[in-house]
Structure 1
């Protein structure tokens, strides 16, 4: 018997598992990947508030970015926004995962890679992997189960919780570039054909370039990779050809907002599994870290009291209410299909009100709510002064 079984070793799963272990609980973390620094899906853009509130290892963060350049579909003009502070840093996600895993192991988390979560039967939660028995499976009993297993969560289905229905898909190429004297910049192309419902981007921080597109999958008749190739032929801010050996990333992005039912007496969801991604910007790294801190406090209370009643306060419907404005803007973005309409409206971004609105979206600090049901959810993992003895088994 383990206290908590966490499925998924992304940032949300790793930070939640570490927080719980530091509070004295027995935690098993499983992930189907055999290497945490492989099969990276996210661009890894961290915003200023995340960098202020969470102690991410600086050696795995790229140079700071203060400039965002917005481009219309025709690429005939642009709007440049410069911030007086460091707004973004692009993380080396493989390095960040490995560093977070090392912290987790040091805290006492047991990590099983190459292990798949299969569901349940009378013997407990079924897992397959290197530590499985002769039949290819093993059973684990856990007081609580956590789904940190991505936008298409298997755990959500097993717990009878809500699942993401509104998804974007993204694809990008990542490669190193020679040192240059251009200021680090984040180029965003607003084109409802190239990137329906979202944007295409080039991020060049002086060390690496990320060039990608994302949008609603049913609006890519040519396929997402073809759209990416088309974009790289004319992408603004792309000063280097994409090399043949560039790393390619991609995957689903939930943008329907935080799900309403994200907990049950048996466990809960965090990160993409719970829809903790901004419906407007599709940013998920800051919400996942803050939500992991909240989830750890809720699970800690449930384990200490021996009652699952604490999980009732982990209410997605209450949290979702904080995102009404962004959900409305998401519906607006989804409805825009004409590049001509965007081109015609784009000059509004160059006006003082337009610039102010863009700066509020791109440079603002609003993310996952800091408080819900009287529980503080920001500032990283808590370290209580005293922890209960680790339970055997």
Structure 2
């Protein structure tokens, strides 16, 4: 049986980035991933926000998106928000994961696909759970698990060039209760999807997605259509995300914006903190080091968006959503929307 310093469970962006950083620091690191290919089972839309684009060098990104349109259920009189900066880029996640694997292996980490957890082949001094919203590692380590989830579905396909990049967001509780439906068209690919509370959906998600495509002008596919989706934690960062046996990163830790459901930026930043704390703990053996990875303290950053999330969950009918857009069309309402979407 192999023994390593750190076993990272899950080969998503958070897990692979944490593994690379730890291997770079000189630790013996293994990554186990139950999927046989990282091109399948992708759950994220791949939207990277300006903060991430400014702070990290990322490969395989599409054109910049500076324009957001917010639509009420009627799709009439959308609120248009335009930034002078590159606010969003959508990544080719399969290619990004492949590059992240190469980077982790180049640093010295072992990346094993089709390897379940817990496995019999590897023992570790410390385990890092990067295994998604319904984390098995969290349960085995006695850490907190995500309770507040929404469920999403998305279709991704190439489009004919020429369209102006735009991010379309539709607030309609009949399609996406407690969240939104969206179309992101960056001129190269279209991402068409919706998400919401599973207990409020009025039909199966594929059926609702078909309904959305029929009611909203979406780009026509110019190539194969890929479908993805899954659970998204929206309860904010969990409180207990570390123990002397291991810690959680990414979706497993609830590191997703409660309001926008964006998780790629916090997953990049948390993976850096997780790697630093893990290295210091294993080197020193001092349990007090783990206090720097305190979910209860870190979750304060999500407080405002958690409150706004509760407000969005109260929108149960299209009439209320239409009324809310009256506020969004005012200068203060647009200022708040820009603060949320453009930071």
**Equivalent-residue separation in structure 1 for 2:301 and 2:189 (angstroms):** 35
Structure 2: gaps spanning 5 or more residues: none
Q: Across the two proteins, how many residue pairs are aligned to each other? A: 341
- Displacement after TM superposition at 1:345 (Å): 2.2
Equivalent of 1:218 in 199, 207, 217:
199
**Equivalent-residue separation in structure 1 for 2:113 and 2:187 (angstroms):** 33
Residue 132 of structure 2 corresponds to which residue in structure 1? 150
TM-score, with structure 2 as normaliser: 0.97
Per-residue CA deviations over 1:29-59 (Å, capped at 9, x if unaligned) read 01011111222111100001101111112xx
Q: Is it true that 1:114 corresponds to 2:138 in the alignment?
A: no
CA contact (8 A) 2:157 2:223 kept: no
SS at match of 1:192: coil
CA contact (8 A) 1:6 1:27 kept: yes
- Displacement after TM superposition at 1:309 (Å): 3.1
SS at match of 1:160: coil
Residue 142 of structure 2 corresponds to which residue in structure 1? 160
Residue 277 of structure 1 corresponds to which residue in structure 2? 256
TM-score, with structure 1 as normaliser: 0.85
SS at match of 1:35: coil
Give the CA RMSD over aligned residues: 1.2
Query: Which stretch has the larger CA shift, 329-338 or 209-218?
Result: 329-338
Change (3 A) 1:253 1:336: same
Per-residue CA deviations over 1:125-163 (Å, capped at 9, x if unaligned) read xx1xxxxxxxxxx24221100000000000000000000
**Equivalent-residue separation in structure 2 for 1:25 and 1:106 (angstroms):** 13
Find the structure with the greater CA-based Rg: 1
Residue 247 of structure 1 corresponds to which residue in structure 2? 226
Residue 84 of structure 1 corresponds to which residue in structure 2? 84
SS at match of 2:247: strand
SS at match of 1:251: strand
Structure 1: gaps spanning 5 or more residues: 119-126, 128-137, 365-393
- Displacement after TM superposition at 1:223 (Å): 1.1
SS at match of 2:128: strand
- Displacement after TM superposition at 1:289 (Å): 0.4
Runs of 4+ more than 6 Å apart:
none
**Equivalent-residue separation in structure 2 for 1:353 and 1:271 (angstroms):** 33
